[in-house]
């Protein structure tokens, strides 16, 4: 019954969802000359800067595998997370004028943001594959399992975004706090470096980060051409479902109070 309601609701608002995602695309590139090409170019340029800084200046390297692919694969995943969670955090607050006037399920707003960034994410896979081929890394049959990690990342981000958007309604300071948190998180996630350069003791802290597992999962396949271990399948699945569940509970419990904090 409960799930049937969700499905019916979802069907009813799917057109709105598609309109909101479309709106985001239109607005995002409205006045830029290159338009959607930025979606492809941005992560590549981002990668180039990081690779330049870390491999030339700090002499980072990843023995046996290509450093460019290493950086870009981590970056693509992390960028999705940081952009989607940032946008979904502000989505409820930004749409207050609507929420206050018309009944719309409030999850629509950040779900549309996660989808919008998700489509953008799929576009960034194009430059990733170009780099994979250009550097001679090549592909293998295991690439077919990659969507598993993407789905885990999506669910994790959704859950995390739900928690963030709920907190940010009650506590606007969250926008500033989270900006700092994301910066810190960027450096605590092994994107530019390999986790092996961290001391054993500190590694435990690094491994509490679910993003580490999603990124490792896709690197196992893309860089090392091997099937990720059963354990990493389980950790990825459980961590993402756990965050999604927590997010849903937190959001559901608080969403009726949102309107008082306009």
User: For another protein, which residue of 32, 100, 183, 196 counts as binding (CB under 8 A)?
Assistant: 100
Alpha carbon 3 to chain centroid, angstroms: 26
**Could you count the other beta carbons within 10 Å of the beta carbon of residue 157?**
31
Q: Which residues of 129-151 are buried (b: 16+ CB within 10 A; e: fewer)?
A: eebbeeeebeeeebeeebebbbe
User: For another protein, which residue of 26, 56, 59, 201 counts as binding (CB under 8 A)?
Assistant: 26
104: contact with another protein by CB under 8 A? yes
99: contact with another protein by CB under 8 A? yes
Could you tell me which stretch among 12-20, 37-45, 46-54, 197-205 binds another protein (CB under 8 A)? 12-20
The whole-angstrom separation of Cα 86 and Cα 146 is 24
Q: Which is nearer to another protein, 3 or 260 (CB)?
A: 260
260: contact with another protein by CB under 8 A? yes
Nearest-approach distance from CB 103 to another protein, in angstroms:
4
The whole-angstrom separation of Cα 71 and Cα 54 is 10
Which tokens go with 197?
């350069």
The whole-angstrom separation of Cα 60 and Cα 68 is 11
98: contact with another protein by CB under 8 A? yes
Q: Which is nearer to another protein, 37 or 177 (CB)?
A: 177
Nearest-approach distance from CB 248 to another protein, in angstroms:
18
Q: 135 and 47 in contact (C-beta within 8 Å)?
A: no
One symbol per residue from 152 to 191: x for binding another protein (CB under 8 A), - otherwise; what is it? ------------------xx-x------------------
Task: Residue 112: name the closest of 18, 7, 175 by CA.
Answer: 18
261: contact with another protein by CB under 8 A? yes
Q: Which is nearer to another protein, 24 or 83 (CB)?
A: 24
N-to-C CA span, the chain? 32
Size of the site for another protein (CB under 8 A): 26
Nearest-approach distance from CB 70 to another protein, in angstroms:
38
Could you tell me which stretch among 11-19, 37-45, 51-59, 246-254 binds another protein (CB under 8 A)? 11-19
Which tokens go with 232?
């990493």
Task: Residue 118: name the closest of 85, 75, 91, 146 by CA.
Answer: 85
Which residues contact another protein by CB under 8 A?
A: 12-13, 15-16, 18-20, 23, 26-27, 30, 97-104, 170-171, 173, 256, 259-261
């Amino acid at each position: 019954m409960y799930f049937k309601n969700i499905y019916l609701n979802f069907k009813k608002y799917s057109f709105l969802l598609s309109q909101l995602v479309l709106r985001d695309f239109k607005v995002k590139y409205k006045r830029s000359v290159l338009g959607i090409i930025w979606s492809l170019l941005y992560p590549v340029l981002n990668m180039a800067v990081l690779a330049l800084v870390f491999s030339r200046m700090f002499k980072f390297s990843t023995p046996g595998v290509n450093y460019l692919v290493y950086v870009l694969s981590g970056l693509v995943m992390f960028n999705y997370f940081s952009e989607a969670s940032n946008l979904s955090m502000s989505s409820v607050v930004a749409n207050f004028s609507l929420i206050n006037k018309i009944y719309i399920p409030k999850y629509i707003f950040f779900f549309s943001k996660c989808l919008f960034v998700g489509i953008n994410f799929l576009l960034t896979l194009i430059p990733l594959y170009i780099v994979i081929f250009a550097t001679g890394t090549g592909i293998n049959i295991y690439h077919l399992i990659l969507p598993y990690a993407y789905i885990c990342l999506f669910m994790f981000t959704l859950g995390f975004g739900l928690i963030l958007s709920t907190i940010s309604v009650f506590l606007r300071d969250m926008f500033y706090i989270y900006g700092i948190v994301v910066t810190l998180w960027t450096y605590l996630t092994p994107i530019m470096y390999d986790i092996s350069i961290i001391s054993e003791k500190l590694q435990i802290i690094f491994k509490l980060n679910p993003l580490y597992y999603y990124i490792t999962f896709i690197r196992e396949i893309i860089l090392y051409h091997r099937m990720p271990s059963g354990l990493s399948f389980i950790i990825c699945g459980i961590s993402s479902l756990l965050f999604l569940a927590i997010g849903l509970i937190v959001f559901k419990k608080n969403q009726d109070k949102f309107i008082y904090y306009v």
